[in-house]
Structure 1
């Protein structure tokens, strides 16, 4: 790899992910998920993982592939509603789950990347989420103390990146990927296009290379729609056609 951070493949980039690791995974729904890295984790056979992500994919795609192989022991997420296998493993006791309000999850990841050990948030105060957590009053409103998330490994997917690890995301993929990239002790980025150093406009870089330890060029993304919704007018036009 020389002085660059470029790995020849996903398998090489993830070569030392160990059993029992905590892995933060970027993406929003099925958009911007590091699908090559997830496949490499599946093929590598690592087990006992704690995975932190916005959601857990669907039955046959994204993190659902790791659930299918029973490689995940604990899932930390804010939304899990599209995965029947997830439901089965949760109800059977095979899978431990921590559900976190989406904004709280984002802030815990951001705090982890910024070196802030914990944050206070009003989300979840007065609900079962608050059980066992320290609380404090700010301005007459109860807040929970939530600990930052720092993962052993962070996996993200970007639109473009260079050999120094600078990343640019596109549209919805920018929601969680930058936060996840900051929160990893080792961050591995797969990019749709690996460009020459200096080609990226410095003002357009979303994740500076200082946060990225390894990078590789990914295969073409499989563009899936998690749940298709349309307006009444659009549906009427479809029926008329």
Structure 2
């Protein structure tokens, strides 16, 4: 008999996340992010967090909510646009930011989940990514308080490659289109971006599922993330499952909106990534 990993609520799922925890968070921009788990963590109150994610949400949405409350101390990400408060905190010396090439970030999380300590990649060779000097944190006066260190570079098959350490976090927060009670997950479209890798990186992985099914209802060949990587599953309500805002939506004759916008239903003319 399979272990039932379903917990009653998002609040219960995040209840034991401590101050200072390292979190891997799935999604890209606002597509595929764990909306409900993030908001539950906002209510829970944990602070001093390190977040590993493609980006840190936007002003007023996603991880941007935790950022605005000063709950995040360090971010390991590949893209930091679309968030003015993020830029303000970084330049003011309030936030440590470790920029990492996007594919490298995904592989660092996947490698962590696979039990690998590090790997070599050609990405970043000959740049500050490998040579060091990237400003991770500033002093309030604008001088660099903390910079990246040089990384080991070796030659494989006649090509220079830089050593990148894998990432393992205390907790991972992800969103799945479908999950069964054993934690096997299926992701929809662009939500299958960083979610599987983030899930693998977490020692404890929390999944919010738009639809919960019984074990056996997901065909083995359709599983994107095996349940072995998942410890807790939260079944979303129909209203929560439709929560898929987007950063900007542009239609013919309109300017882009500056606020996060509720995505239209699938099949609408102005289709949004979800």
1:141 Cα offset (Å): 2.6
How is 1:15-26 mapped onto 2 (pairs within 5 angstroms)?
Answer: 15-26=15-26
In structure 2, relative to structure 1, the CA distance for the partners of 1:111 and 1:3 (3 Å cut) is closer
Q: Does 1:176 align with 2:197?
A: no
Structure 1 residue 45, shift from structure 2 partner: 0.8
Is the partner of 2:246 in helix, strand or coil? coil
TM-score (ref. length: structure 2)? 0.81
Match of 2:219 in 1: 201
* Structure 1 length-normalised TM: 0.92
Matches of 1:100 and 1:221 in 2, distance apart? 31
Aligned to 1:121: 121
Look up the match of 2:136: none
- 2:206 aligned with 1:156: no
- In the superposition, relative to structure 1, how do residues 235 and 122 fare at CA in structure 2: closer, same or farther (>3 Å)? farther
What is the alpha-carbon distance in structure 2 between the residues aligned to residue 17 and residue 210 of structure 1? 20
* Structure with the higher helix share, 1 or 2: 1
Q: Within 5 Å, which residues of 2 pair with 1:33-44?
A: 33-44=33-44
Within-5 A mapping of 1:33-182: 33-130=33-130, 131=132, 132-182=150-200
RMSD value, Cα: 1.6
Task: Return 198-207 or 69-78, whichever deviates more.
Answer: 198-207
**Distance (whole Å) between structure 1 residues aligned to residue 85 and residue 218 of structure 2:** 40
Contact 2:185–2:224 (8 Å) recurs in 1:
yes
CA positional deviation for 1:223: 2.3
1:227 deviation in Å? 3.8
Moved over 6 A (4+): none
Per-residue CA distance 1:104-159 (angstroms, 9 max, x = gap) = 00111110011010011111111111122111112333211000000100110000
Segments of structure 2 that go 5 or more residues without pairing to the other structure are: 133-149, 255-274
Unaligned runs of 5+ in 1: 237-241
